[in-house]
Structure 1
Amino acid sequence: MALINLWMAQGFIPSSDVDPNKERLGNEYFMDLLWRSFFQDVQEDELGNIVNFKMHDLMHDLAQLVAGTECMIVDLSSGKLDERVRHVSHSSNFDLSWTRETSYSGADKLRSFLLLNQSPFHSMPNKLFYDTAIGRFRGLRSLSMSNSGVTMLPISISNLVHLRYLDISWNPDIKLLPNTITDLLNLQTLILTSCYNLENLPTQMEKSINLRHLDIDGCANLKQVPCGLGKLQSLQSLGKGGITISRQSCWLTELKDLNNLDGELRIVDLGHDDDATLEWKDVNLKDKQNLQSLIVEWGPESHENEGVLNDVMMLEDIKALWSLKQLMIEWYGGARFRKWMVDDLMSYLPNLVKVRLDSCFRCQHLPPLHQLAYLKDLYLGDLSNIECIIECEGVAEVRPSGCDFFPVLAQLWIVNMPNLKKWWRKEEASKELLPSIPHLSYLVILDCPNLLSMPLLPSLEKLDVYGVNEKLLSPQSSTAESSSSLCRLKKLRIGKVLKMESLSGKWLQNLTSLEFMWISDCPKLMSLSQGLSHLSSLEILGISNCKDIDFKEVDSGSSMQSKGFLNLRSMTIKEAAKPDCLPQRLEQFPNLEKLEIESCSGLVSLPESIGNLQSLQRIRIFDCRKLISLPTPVSSLTGLQELELSGCPIVMAKMPRRECIRLA
């Protein structure tokens, strides 16, 4: 967190014999202030790290009162500065006039100089940078020139011998940094975020022995990170993106002594031969116990090679990473994970928040991920030999006192797992006890044709199913209890359910909170159940590439049933082949505002009942070549703002050109 780094630069965080990690101590200070409401409106990233926050106006006023003249926000109109000022923030575009017109007798005592709210189109002369920051403010501990238009740093930057915090981020014209920057022996934080054109870091970076944070996120043209950084044993992070290392780089061996790393470490293209195992040992991963995120990719060839036992051995060192919040494993070649992952995962990696297991083609069993108390985000993909998600015999083994598992999981992706059949090894035949994922809000199931059941999902708000078995959405797999657990579902996407002929009314009738439904690529889908009329909150309905779809069942419903369509605002029908691919009783949708029809090859005419849609504002019809005419009641739609036709040659030939595009 930048605030903590600024505190450190000013010496506000003392050394501690109990915990020498100043960042951790600074975080305790911050959390204490947050608890006391000094800070508020905290925003966290996906791993729970604080990235944004605010200070209450009253607290800000109090802080200014306590600071007195020591801290000051200035602009171009500010005159003489009090010699007691130590920390200056400049709130407007900085230019030469400020230095000419401002006198400050205590310039050498200034400790912070921060540019705020600089215009992205502002360009600051490099001479000004020298005159102010270096020529006058030699006692600086913190200097921020973020987004200031600086194009280069002068060699004399080394004169700021006390500098500990330097931020030159978002200056895309900087291509090189002077080598003299490594003479700043007290430098702790160097922020280069989004210096897009920066090509190289200074040579001899190993001289910056106190450097703790080097942020190179968004430095897209950075050709290479110089070897020698491995000697910076205080180095903790290289930005949010962390470090990406392959076997071909010098970095793999230089990681050995960087045991204070606490950000993200990505090791790619490992391979699984004997040499890879030896190089992995050189990384000394087990001593990097502050890491928050570890991503390990063996490479796409690993599942074909006979040396996959090496992959299994490499996982052993991960168990020492107690602080790990994110673990991603890709192209792992083993059939099983290490014994510690299977038997005692919660003890070794209790803080995991995000897990991704991808392209582990040989893997036959998953670790007990359902036990992780803080797991919020789980991705399981291309695990072609996995048959069940939980290796237990039944619900009682998942949680003896009940049937919840994945206690805080919020998002789950299950992708391309063709042999997945069950959630746990022995599902109860009676289904009297169904497992529950109590806090899951988003579920994606893609290309899992053999999965036939769903757990209880009482908090689910968004569900995407594509390439699944039709039984997953049928009454046989959804008991009354399981289907009613979807009462909070708001968005539903169904696609590529190849054998589904109709939607289950029993399954649909409990989706009373559903606002959005899109069905696509279901070639055998012929009808929508009358259960659709129970979707009392539905606002958007889309059907695409379901050739044989019709609305006969919906049209046959009673007026009482049709109350479910009162909130429908938008309907889209694409790539349907039947003449009656639209509902004939459009009066069921009295609040419909948008109707879009595209590539419906059998459509000949629109229903006469369209005249009842007085809320209709937009009609868009594309590529319906058999459409003969528009019904007369269209002209009585007083709310219609736009009528757009394209690729409908018969009906367009009968209309004035201006009416084929838009009605105002």
Structure 2
Amino acid sequence: MSWCLFEKVAFKESKEPNDSRLVAIGKDIVKKCAGNPLVIRTIGGVLYTKDTKTEWLSLKERQLSMLTRNEDDVLSVLKFSYEQLPSYLKQCFAYCSLFPKDYEINKQMLISLWIAEGFVQPLQGIQCLEELGDQYFMDLLRRSFFQDVEYDEWGNVISCKLHDLMHDLAQLIAGSDCSMVDLDCENISERTHHVSLSAELDSSWKIPTTLLNANKIRTFLLPMQPIHRVVLDKVDHEAIISSFRLMRVLDLHNTGLHILPRIIGKLKHLRYLDLSKNEVIRKLPSSITELLNLQTLKIYSCKRLEQLPRKLSNMISLKHLETGQCTGLTHMPSGIGQLTSLQTLTRFVVGTSSFEMASGGLRELKDLNELRGELMIAKLENLRNVAAECNEANLKEKQHLEVLTLDWSREGNSHVTFEEDEALLEGLQPHSNLQEFHIYGYRAESQLPKLKVLRLEEINAIEYIEDSSAESSSSLSFKGNPMNRGREGKEFFLCLEELVFFDLRNLKGWWREAPLVTNDNHGAAASSQRPLQKKESMPSFPCLSKLKIGICTNLSHMPLHPFLEELELKNTPARLLQQSAMVAAGANLVYPLYLSKLKVMHIDGIKDLVSFPEKGLHHLISLQHLSIENCPDLICLTEEGLKSLTSLRFFNIRCCEMLKSLFKGFKHLTALEELEIKECRELDLSKDLEENVMELQCLRTLRIGDMPKLSSLPDGLQHVTTLKDLQISSCSNLKTLPEWIGNLTSLQRFEVLDYPQLASFPRTLYSLKALEYLEITSCSKLFDTGQIKKCKNWSMIAHIPEIVIDGEKM
């Protein structure tokens, strides 16, 4: 396990190189790291920048020769890693000492702070400081100065944390220059330039004299202010502002600010101002536009803020204007479009012509082509000249935008026509790099010919997607889609790549047609409404690659999706899965390889699924990930249903309480790398996998748990010598581990969890030379409490580099 971690951080391609000498040095270094993940990551990050064996040997012999598990020794290694940083990264890292331990640091906020402090300077070829700051951040992350990273759905880093020892190092390096102080501000010295408060402000807080006297302060941060709104009527905001004329960074978020003092305009050096979550503030003083160096202005969630200053265009350095959730804003000031350096403008509000002050329309967006991230355009119902303004908005040139939201509030604006809505939607034409497109309050019909992603979530009123019977409040209507419902599998949204239906509990089908009145034998009107069970009523999505349907309990039919790559069905009727299989089984000349491109399939919470479909799954030749969870009536996985899954690499079965047999289908899963079977209480793997598991010669990971009928591990498992990770948990009837476990020569990680009957280890465990990590939890018969290393079982595992017993690292 330690070597795997080292590989990822020390080598350029995150895997073992061909240089055997370098590998040997690396393994010696890993041993000296004594299984400490922080040290391994940190040293690996240093070695990543070293290319020669001489440099690696030097580090091993000089820096790690005396390393023990003592915390002071670990800190010395971290300090050595810090000393290898270029100077521009050193100050960026030290600045992180202003945040409390275990604090989740937002990446974009941190980069903006670095830029405001002047830590990020332009380089030849890279003039965008945000891009350069991003490189700084990723460099520190790669060197393991950051950890616990959170990512967004596109793989971008959102936030990170510092390990406690890394935080200690940052404080040590920063010294008195950066001080995180309590509310009485006692530790501030004359040398302090950057201050953060380690506790949240309360209504009784008065600014300490020590803070007011520290007139060289350039940074004032409040990282501990709560998420919920606070009322701090007694905080003297003016005293804070007037005392620190050299301020570059000022954080007053969620401090109960009613009126921002006019003196704010005197802070000529200010580059970063956070006023967010002051929900009672209604207006910003005009003097704020005198802050010609201000780069970041955060006013998000100032919900009663009605307008921005008229001369906002004077703030020529402004790059980030965070206006999200400023729902009280009535318009954008005329001239905001002159701020061509703007990269962040989260909410743009279209105003009406009734305001006394000039209101900027969509044409203000024309030259703001550096905008990136998210943009919401709100109150679109206020547009008057739709065609002209949509064209002037110039969205097609905003290549950095990732998320665009269009919002019609419909608050008493009867002059707006549905045709204008349609013209607006078709006229905006966002750049093709856009990754998400959200629409609220849209009322027109539209063909949306180029739509790639459609998500409908939590709309209980919808019964049909298309309803030609009449105007209906229980359907969505997309005019112009070439559906031609009388023919088989007509195409629906030609360019759609992703379709998500979630929590549409009343959705019944794709369309409901107008009733046709005929004279039948009974003289009554007969409806021509086509039954959705017929194949000709199924829409086809020719480009669909991702389909997710969740909590649609009344949906009667799946769409045709011949080239689907990812399918997720959650809390749906079993018939949807069965229908897809049936269509594949009867695939005609139009789609001869139906489902052949499917790579990922997740099945979750299908309560009435009894067996995995036997027919129609022979086309799943590309399936690599299969997950079946929370299907309480599932009894078996048949061989016929599994034998075509020759590309399957990851298989997960959980919470299928009635599952009794996997049958012989597993012998066909020859590409399987990871298998997890848990909480299948009727399943006895010792019988099911006895012979079939021998064929799994690519298996790397096996996790089994919560199976009381399992009395012994399948003997065939001893032949799976590729196994690297084995976890056994909560199998109450399993009393011993077999001696043949010594045959698993590639095993690196072994976890035995909640195994109360286990009294000893097999003697062959000592022969597992590749084993690097052993975890034992709730195995009370193995060791006497408090005397673990004196027990006879300890000698059989003492050679393993990393051992964790009941959560404690040995």
2:284 pairs with one of 171, 177, 188: 177
Quote the Cα distance in structure 1 between the aligned partners of 2:405 and 2:146. Answer: 33
Equivalence for 2:254: 147
Are the counterparts in 2 of residues 253 and 282 from structure 1 also a CA contact under 8 Å? yes
Alpha-carbon offset, residue 116 of structure 1: 3.0
TM-score normalized by structure 2?
0.48
Are the counterparts in 1 of residues 149 and 159 from structure 2 also a CA contact under 8 Å? yes
Q: 1:275 to 1:251 in 2, by over 3 A?
A: closer
TM-score normalized by structure 1?
0.57
2:372 pairs with one of 262, 268, 275: 262
Are the counterparts in 1 of residues 538 and 560 from structure 2 also a CA contact under 8 Å? no
Equivalence for 2:152: 45
Q: 1:359 to 1:294 in 2, by over 3 A?
A: farther
Equivalence for 1:102: 210
Alpha-carbon offset, residue 217 of structure 1: 2.5
Q: 1:359 to 1:247 in 2, by over 3 A?
A: farther
Q: 1:369 to 1:116 in 2, by over 3 A?
A: same
Alpha-carbon offset, residue 2 of structure 1: 0.7
Q: 1:245 to 1:43 in 2, by over 3 A?
A: farther
Quote the Cα distance in structure 2 between the aligned partners of 1:188 and 1:264. Answer: 18
Counterpart check, 1:389 vs 2:516: no
Quote the Cα distance in structure 2 between the aligned partners of 1:485 and 1:332. Answer: 41
Counterpart check, 1:491 vs 2:609: no
Alpha-carbon offset, residue 82 of structure 1: 2.3
Aligned to 1:259, the other structure's residue is in SS state coil
Quote the Cα distance in structure 2 between the aligned partners of 1:266 and 1:446. Answer: 36
Quote the Cα distance in structure 2 between the aligned partners of 1:297 and 1:121. Answer: 26
Quote the Cα distance in structure 2 between the aligned partners of 1:472 and 1:335. Answer: 40
Equivalence for 2:402: 292
Quote the Cα distance in structure 2 between the aligned partners of 1:19 and 1:459. Answer: 39
Q: Which runs of 5+ in 1 are unaligned?
A: 346-353, 392-404, 425-434, 494-501, 518-530, 541-559, 569-590, 592-664
Quote the Cα distance in structure 1 between the aligned partners of 2:274 and 2:206. Answer: 21
Are the counterparts in 1 of residues 611 and 636 from structure 2 also a CA contact under 8 Å? no
2:653 pairs with one of 513, 533, 537: 513
Are the counterparts in 2 of residues 538 and 567 from structure 1 also a CA contact under 8 Å? no
Equivalence for 1:557: none
Aligned to 1:233, the other structure's residue is in SS state coil
Quote the Cα distance in structure 1 between the aligned partners of 2:124 and 2:408. Answer: 40
Are the counterparts in 1 of residues 558 and 580 from structure 2 also a CA contact under 8 Å? no
Alpha-carbon offset, residue 152 of structure 1: 2.6
Alpha-carbon offset, residue 263 of structure 1: 2.3
**What residue identity is the alignment partner of 2:342?**
L
1:280 pairs with one of 367, 370, 390: 390
Counterpart check, 1:130 vs 2:269: no
Equivalence for 1:251: 361
Q: 1:165 to 1:378 in 2, by over 3 A?
A: same
- Map 1:570-585 → 2, pairs under 5 A: none
Aligned to 1:390, the other structure's residue is in SS state coil
Q: 1:195 to 1:244 in 2, by over 3 A?
A: closer
Aligned to 2:302, the other structure's residue is in SS state coil
Equivalence for 1:337: 449
RMSD between superposed Cα atoms in Å = 5.3
Equivalence for 2:481: 363
Equivalence for 1:521: none
Are the counterparts in 1 of residues 330 and 350 from structure 2 also a CA contact under 8 Å? no
Q: Deviations over 1:351-373 (max 9, x none)?
A: xxx76498645334445666xxx
**What residue identity is the alignment partner of 2:363?**
T
Counterpart check, 1:28 vs 2:28: no
Aligned to 2:628, the other structure's residue is in SS state coil
Q: 1:410 to 1:85 in 2, by over 3 A?
A: farther
Moved more, 306-315 or 194-203: 306-315
Moved more, 166-175 or 479-488: 479-488
Are the counterparts in 2 of residues 244 and 265 from structure 1 also a CA contact under 8 Å? no
Alpha-carbon offset, residue 226 of structure 1: 3.5
Are the counterparts in 1 of residues 182 and 199 from structure 2 also a CA contact under 8 Å? yes
Percentage of matched positions with identical amino acids: 32
**What residue identity is the alignment partner of 1:199?**
E
Equivalence for 1:599: none
Equivalence for 1:629: none
Quote the Cα distance in structure 1 between the aligned partners of 2:138 and 2:110. Answer: 12
1:423 pairs with one of 551, 561, 567: 561
Q: Which runs of 5+ in 2 are unaligned?
A: 1-107, 354-358, 411-416, 457-475, 483-490, 512-536, 582-594, 643-650, 663-676, 682-686, 689-704, 710-731, 733-810
Quote the Cα distance in structure 1 between the aligned partners of 2:309 and 2:396. Answer: 30
Aligned to 1:173, the other structure's residue is in SS state coil
Equivalence for 2:339: 232
Are the counterparts in 2 of residues 331 and 361 from structure 1 also a CA contact under 8 Å? no
1:111 pairs with one of 203, 210, 218: 218
Q: 1:321 to 1:281 in 2, by over 3 A?
A: same
Are the counterparts in 2 of residues 126 and 151 from structure 1 also a CA contact under 8 Å? no
- Map 1:563-602 → 2, pairs under 5 A: none
Quote the Cα distance in structure 1 between the aligned partners of 2:349 and 2:556. Answer: 31
Equivalence for 2:565: 437
Quote the Cα distance in structure 2 between the aligned partners of 1:263 and 1:244. Answer: 17
**What residue identity is the alignment partner of 1:102?**
T
Quote the Cα distance in structure 1 between the aligned partners of 2:261 and 2:478. Answer: 51
**What residue identity is the alignment partner of 2:197?**
H
Quote the Cα distance in structure 1 between the aligned partners of 2:549 and 2:148. Answer: 27
Quote the Cα distance in structure 2 between the aligned partners of 1:141 and 1:386. Answer: 61
Quote the Cα distance in structure 2 between the aligned partners of 1:417 and 1:444. Answer: 11
**What residue identity is the alignment partner of 2:285?**
P
Are the counterparts in 1 of residues 304 and 326 from structure 2 also a CA contact under 8 Å? yes
Quote the Cα distance in structure 2 between the aligned partners of 1:279 and 1:420. Answer: 40
Q: Deviations over 1:520-558 (max 9, x none)?
A: xxxxxxxxxxx7655996689xxxxxxxxxxxxxxxxxx
Q: Deviations over 1:277-315 (max 9, x none)?
A: 433211112221211113468999xxx989999689747
Are the counterparts in 2 of residues 512 and 534 from structure 1 also a CA contact under 8 Å? no
- How many residue pairs align between the two structures? 472
Q: 1:386 to 1:413 in 2, by over 3 A?
A: farther
Counterpart check, 1:3 vs 2:110: yes
Alpha-carbon offset, residue 17 of structure 1: 5.1
